[in-house]
Amino acid sequence: RYQEEIEAHNALDAVMEVTEHSPKAARQAGGKILVSVPSWSDAKGHTEYLISTSLRARPAACVSTAHRFSDFLRLHEEIHSSLGLLQEFPVPKALFVTDGVKKHRMRALQGYLRHALAAAARVHARDDTA
């Protein structure tokens, strides 16, 4: 089911509402976040995945960062319990990282980030109603 949810977030436009304050404030501020993993690059013996984020209201103000697969593992370890995500990271490790594995990871990491944003929005919404 977890994998299905992640794929569903890839299938959708995946505009998630998150903010430091509340989903209501995010809607008022136009704080819809777009996240994608459009490419990867090989650097110094490892692969870095490009993460692009922007507010839907200001798509030209895109911020891009590059992260290694291990960065995603650390992120998941830090956020999974507070966001109610499964403990196991949903994107598998690979012994040999071919271009096919990298393409699969791009899509899976994008879905994971969108899923995590949706989970964060649910947690914020729950906190706002409590």
pLDDT tens-digit series, residues 46-56: 999 999 998 87
Task: Tell me the whole-structure pTM to 2 decimals.
Answer: 0.75
Checking if the pLDDT of 13 tops 60, the result is no
Structure tokens given for 8: 């569903």
Checking if the pLDDT of 121 tops 60, the result is yes
Calculate the average pLDDT of the chain: 80
Ordered alpha helix ranges (H), the chain = 2-11, 23-29, 69-83, 99-129
Predicted confidence (pLDDT) per residue in 21-40, tens digit: 344 444 433 347 889 999 99
Angle at 119 between CA 115 and CA 121, to 5 degrees: 115
Q: CA nearest 36: which of 57, 65, 3?
A: 65
The residue type of 113 is: L
DSSP conformation class of 92 = P
Checking if the pLDDT of 12 tops 50, the result is no
